[in-house]
Structure formats: C-alpha cells, structure tokens
C-alpha cells in the first residue's frame, strides 16, 4: 500500500472503465451496454455512453435537448452508491492479478506497476492480462495505461497508451489544459483552468514552462497542485506523514452486521469518530483503508484514494459504498471472493494524512458548490427529523400507478431513494395532474339537470350528464364542463375493494376544476380526489 505514498511520482497502472456511471446504471437497469444511455443529475447530462455521444449527446445538456438528439436515449438517474457497488467486482478482478489496488473513484483503480511488470514479463503483457481478466470475470470493458504519477496514468488509461519512465512531462506537453479540471480539488470549480485558458495557456506544456515561483505567487495552492501535475510530478509535495497506528478506528459487531441500512448507520458514526479523532490532531485523510472481518473469519480490505482530503460525509459514503458492495453484490466467480456471513469487525485505517488546513470548508456560502448545498440541506432535514420523528420528513419518488395519489411514494429522509420508474402506465390521465390531492375522503353528490343522482354504469358510461355538484356543507355548484368517465379496472379480485370504477374531470363555476372518483360498491359513491388549480 505504501508504494503510492512516496513524493516522487510512482509508476502506476490505471484501469479505467469508460463512462462508468452510465455503465453501472445500465447494468443495474438491465439495459444492454450498446444501447444509448445517459445519466442525469438536476436535469443535465453528467455522463453518457459512447453510442449516445456519437448521436450528439454531450455533458451538460438538458434532458429534452439530449432526447431530441437521440430519441432512443435511456434516461438514468445518478447514484454514487450504485456506481461504487457495481465497481467492486472490477476492483476485485484487478486485485486477483496485482496487489495493492486502490480505488481512485468509481470507474478508476490504480495499482503500483513495478512488481507486476517484472512478474508478468513486460508492461504490454501485464496490460493484456488485466484487460482480459477484467472482461473475462466481469464482462465489462476497460482501458489500461501505465505512467509515472496518478494524474498522468489516468490520462494514459483514457488513451490506452504506456508512457516510458521519465517521459511524463513530454507526454503531457501537447494535451489541453482542460485535462486538469477533474484532477483539481472541487473547491476550485474549474476556475483556475478557465483563468489559465483565458490567459492564453492552452496546453499543459505551456503551463509547465512557467517557473514554480511565478505560479505559487499568482495562483496559490490550487495553482501549485496544477503546476506539479502539469510537469508530471505527483500532486502533493513530498511532505507527508506516516499515520500512527492508533488513529485507526475499530468497531466490533455482535450480532454480525449483515444489512445495508445498518451498515449505513454504522458508517456514519465511524466516520464521525475518525473525523473528530483526526480533527483534534489537526489532520485530514487522503487515503483510507477499510478492513472487515466476517463471522467465518474471512478478511476483506479495500483502499480508497481521494484527490483531496475527505470530509466526514466522504468517509461515511466510502464506508457505506464498500459495505454495499461487499454485502449485496452476488458472487461472481466463486464464493471465496465475497463474504458469506455478516461482518463482525470493521477497521478504518487512514493510510495517508495531510494538514487539516487543506480541508478548509468555505466560510462564505459558495455560489455553485452543490455538495455544500446538499450537505446543509441534509443537516437541516435531520434536525427536523429530530423534532418530529424520522418518518415526518420525506422526499417524494414517482412510481407506477394510475391515480395522482398512487403515483407518489414518500421516502423518509435518509432512506435510499430508488430510481423513479418512468415507464408508461396504461390508464393514467394525461397531464396536467391535480395540484391538490386530498388525503381525506370528501363526499360529493353529483346530479343531472332533473336532480337525479348520476352514476357510472357497468359499461363505464355516465347515466346522465352531470349538471350540479354539492360537497356537504358547501353551496351547490354548477357544472360548466366535464370529461370522462375514464374507467379504471383494478383490484377486481379483492372482495373488500370499494369497486372504484371511473374518474371524471369537472369544471365548475368560478373556474375551479376537480377530479372526481366514482366507486361502485361504497358509500358515498362520488368523492373528490383532487383539485387542479
């Protein structure tokens, strides 16, 4: 593990799965990988598959725009825990060939190349073995590159090339400066790269030519990191500490931990303990190993490497992802690769530490920092849960169903939100849907022009056109227009069902529009289901 922590750029082999979020989402949704697909967050494309890209879909596009470029596009939601969970088999496959695997992020693993190269008899032989083994054991495609330093190695993996030792700077020279964006701390938000580009520095080589002193006085800490990367050095200077052993956080579980939701809870508390522990020593962690021992004595380990010091939430997320993949992913190629019982002991070991000043959170509200917004919102929602109870705060998920109320499932805050089911559902009324969906049953009488009450026949027709409706306790209202009935044929197998048979839309005087529901076997027969305005 310590091979990566040296200050000088170490020779690394990087395995990169292209468009990982899309691959993971497609696998999870059962969509074939050659089908055009894109992952969306906040209505914008965050990743798209190669077929979607060849149809003109680009990152940052709005959903509608992307769908107009590529009508068959599968729209998938973002879910980092799913990405991490499905990536575990890839990391495990690489680990079967080479030791010391570190997950950089979902979709990218790095591993020290030196030993493996001499064992397999050459870099190209090693690459061939890795690509074969990953596609053989997981069925997924990956690209491999070897170079000095993580940044360069990731770029070589994207291009599928090998850069000779010491030639990193020459390889980086002609590459566009925008390659730096993903490697820099997120606090920077791409501002530095944008600035450099506007200053006329278009390639990494041009930036690397500046002297270190010039860069440090003008662009600060982020500039220094970028400059080191552009010169083919490792991102952090040599100054780093060996973490003392006692910083590790150990937790034992009795009974064994075997549920993902319990693991998520444990992840939160362990992350808090570790983070406070580090915080009191003024340290922050950039590489974290997660060790687990199962009830049958199996030992599992995985190291996560982060581009920047991880926050408390970051630690919790990684622990949770790791658990998720250990506990949920089905055995791929033999029982020995997965735990077959719950986890009894868990150890978090910081592998690499830096000064906590590198983890300075913004004092002022950041304008574009979405993570920060999400974190603040999450804290506020947890506080309200403390006031009102866990189920009192929900986020809605749209699901299948016909009625406006049935289409919504409320998920308590903190529980996993499953992806919305956006497939067509026969029998739905078209948009718009009512803005108010009454939770209580509001009784209403519907009468025709001769005062007879209106009903829906077995054949799904109204006995007579409605002229007037009256909600108990309110004056009668005149019907200006109506549409329907739309028959609903469901739950006919249930003897206790109220035999709901149809929905009718009605516009009454003063411009209000209502959605009424007719029930054949229940009293009252008509109820107001929703109001549109």
Partner 1 sequence: MMSARSLMVPDDTDSFGDADNTVARLASLPGLNTASGMAVDAAGAAAVGKLLPVVPELADVLPHRGLRRGSTVSVIGSRLLVLSLLVEATARGSWAAVVGMPDLGVVAAAELGVEESRLALVPAPGAELVPAVAALLDGLDLVVVGRGVNGRTARQLSARARHRGAVLISAGAWPGVDVELRCEEGRWSGLGTSGHGYLSEREVTVHGSGRGAAVRPAAVRLLLPGAAGRIARSGATDAEPMLEAG
* Least CB distance to partner 1 at residue 376 (A): 4
User: How many residues sit in the footprint of partner 1 (CB under 8 A)?
Assistant: 60
Phi/psi-derived region of residue 138, left when phi > 0, alpha when psi is between -120 and 50, beta in every other case: alpha
State which of residues 2, 7, 43, 128 lies at the interface with partner 1 (CB under 8 A): 43
Least separation in angstroms between residue 402's CB and partner 1 is 11
Candidates 65-73, 194-202, 349-357, 373-381; binding stretch for partner 1 (CB under 8 A): 373-381
Q: Given candidates 34, 58, 159, 383, which one binds partner 1 under the rule CB under 8 A? A: 383
Distances in Å between the Cα of 460 and the Cα atoms of 404, 428, 491, 495 are 20, 16, 16, 20
Which residue's CB is nearer to partner 1, number 175 or number 411? 411
Binding test (CB under 8 A) with partner 1, winner from 250, 392, 476, 522: 392
How many other C-beta atoms are found inside a 10 Å radius of the C-beta of residue 279?
A: 13
Q: How are strands ordered across the β-sheet holding 102-105? A: 143-148, 11-16, 108-112, 102-105, 299-305, 283-294, 343-355, 249-257
Q: Is 507 left (phi over 0), alpha (psi -120 to 50) or beta?
A: beta
Place of tokens 């509608």: 64
Helical (H) or strand (E) element with 265: helix 260-280
Does 441 sit near partner 1 (CB under 8 A)? no
Query: Restricting to residues 466-495, which ones interact with partner 1 according to CB under 8 A?
Result: 480-485
Q: Does 513 bind partner 1 (CB under 8 A)?
A: yes
CA dihedral 280, 283, 286, 288 (to 10 degrees): -40
Is residue 295 at the binding interface for partner 1, with CB under 8 A as the rule?
no
Interaction pattern, residues 71-90, with partner 1; x per rule: CB under 8 A? ------x-------------
Is residue 411 classed as helix, strand or coil in its secondary structure? Answer: strand
Instruction: Yes or no: say if 73 and 66 are a contact pair by the CB < 8 Å rule.
Output: yes
Q: Which residues pair with 77 in a beta bridge?
A: 40
Q: Which residue, 291 or 438, has its beta carbon nearer to partner 1?
A: 438
Omega cis (within 30) before 485 = yes
| Interacting positions 493-512 with partner 1 (CB under 8 A) | 505, 507, 510-511
Q: In the bound complex, what is the minimum distance in angstroms from residue 58's beta carbon to partner 1?
A: 18
347-366 residues in contact with partner 1 (CB under 8 A) are: 365
The answer to whether residue 250 forms part of the interface with partner 1 (CB under 8 A) is no
Q: How far is the CB of 77 from partner 1 (least distance, A)?
A: 8
Rounded to a whole number of angstroms, the distance between the first and last alpha carbons of the chain is: 62
The binder of partner 1 chosen from 394, 455, 488, 520 (CB under 8 A): 394
User: Residue 32, exposed/middle/buried by CB under 10 A (0-12, 13-18, 19+)?
Assistant: exposed
- Least spacing, CB of residue 462 vs partner 1, in Å: 7
Cβ at position 257, least distance to partner 1 in Å? 28
342-359: string of b/e by CB count within 10 Å (b at 16+)? bbbbbbbbbbbbbebebb
Q: Which stretch binds partner 1 (CB under 8 A): 194-202, 381-389, 448-456, 517-525?
A: 381-389
User: Most distant CA pair in the chain: distance in Å?
Assistant: 95
Q: Nearest distance from residue 430's CB to partner 1, in Å?
A: 6
Among 462, 500, 516, 527, binds partner 1 (CB under 8 A): 462
Residue among 42 and 330 whose Cβ is closer to partner 1: 42
**Which pair of structure tokens corresponds to residue 260?**
């993902």
> What does the alpha-carbon distance between residue 141 and residue 46 come to, in Å, rounded to a whole number?
20
Q: Is 161 in the site for partner 1 (CB under 8 A)?
A: no
The C-alpha atoms of residue 226 and residue 224 are separated, in whole angstroms, by 5
CB of 311 to partner 1, least distance (A): 16
Chain residues in the site for partner 1 (CB under 8 A): 42-43, 77, 365, 367-368, 370, 373-374, 376-381, 383-384, 387-388, 392-398, 404, 407-408, 410, 413, 417, 420, 429-439, 462, 465, 480-485, 505, 507, 510-511, 513, 530, 532-533
């Amino acid at each position: 593990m310590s091979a990566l922590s040296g200050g000088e750029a170490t020779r690394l082999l990087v395995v990169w799965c292209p468009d990982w979020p899309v691959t993971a989402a497609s696998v999870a949704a059962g969509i074939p990988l050659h089908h055009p697909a894109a992952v969306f967050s906040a209505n914008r494309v965050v990743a798209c598959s190669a077929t979607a890209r060849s149809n003109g879909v680009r990152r940052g596009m709005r959903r509608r725009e992307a769908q107009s470029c590529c009508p068959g596009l599968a729209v998938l939601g973002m879910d980092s825990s799913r990405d991490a969970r499905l990536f575990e088999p890839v990391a495990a496959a690489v680990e079967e060939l080479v030791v010391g695997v570190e997950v950089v992020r979902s979709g990218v693993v790095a591993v020290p190349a030196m030993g493996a190269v001499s064992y397999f008899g050459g870099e190209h032989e090693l690459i061939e073995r890795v690509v074969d083994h990953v596609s053989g054991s997981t069925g997924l495609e990956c690209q491999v590159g070897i170079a000095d330093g993580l940044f360069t190695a990731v770029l070589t993996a994207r291009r599928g090339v090998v850069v000779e030792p010491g030639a990193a700077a020459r390889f980086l020279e002609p590459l566009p400066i925008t390659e730096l964006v993903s490697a820099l701390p997120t606090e920077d938000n791409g501002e530095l790269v944008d600035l450099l580009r506007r200053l006329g520095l278009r390639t990494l080589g041009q930036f690397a030519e500046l002297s270190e002193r010039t860069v440090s006085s003008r662009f600060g800490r982020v500039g220094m990191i970028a400059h080191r990367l552009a010169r083919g050095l490792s991102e952090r200077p040599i100054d780093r500490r060996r973490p003392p052993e006692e910083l590790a956080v150990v937790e034992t579980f009795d009974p064994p931990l075997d549920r993902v939701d319990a693991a998520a809870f444990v992840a939160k508390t362990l992350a808090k303990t570790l983070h406070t522990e580090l915080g009191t020593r003024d340290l922050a962690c950039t590489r974290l190993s997660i060790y687990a021992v199962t009830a049958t004595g199996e030992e599992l380990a995985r190291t996560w490497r982060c581009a920047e010091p991880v926050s408390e939430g970051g630690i919790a997320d990684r622990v949770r992802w790791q658990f998720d993949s250990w506990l949920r992913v089905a055995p791929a190629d033999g029982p020995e690769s997965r735990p077959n019982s719950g986890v009894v002991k868990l150890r978090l070991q910081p592998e690499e530490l830096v000064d906590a000043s590198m983890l300075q959170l913004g004092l002022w509200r950041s304008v574009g920092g979405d993570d920060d917004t999400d974190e603040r919102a999450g804290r506020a929602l947890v506080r309200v849960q403390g006031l009102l109870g866990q189920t009192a705060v929900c986020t809605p998920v749209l699901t299948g169903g016909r009625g406006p109320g049935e289409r919504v499932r409320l998920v308590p805050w903190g529980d996993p939100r499953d992806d919305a089911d956006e497939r067509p559902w026969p029998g739905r009324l078209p948009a718009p849907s009512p803005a108010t969906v009454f939770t209580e049953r509001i009784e209403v009488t519907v009468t025709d022009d001769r005062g007879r009450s209106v009903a829906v026949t077995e054949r799904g027709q109204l006995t007579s056109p409605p002229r007037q409706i009256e909600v108990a306790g309110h004056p009668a209202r005149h019907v200006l227009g109506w549409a329907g009935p739309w028959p609903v044929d469901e739950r006919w197998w249930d003897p206790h069902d109220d035999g709901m048979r149809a929905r009718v839309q009605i516009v009454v005087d003063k411009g209000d529009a209502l959605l009424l529901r007719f029930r054949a076997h229940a009293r009252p027969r008509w109820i107001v289901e929703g109001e549109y305005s």
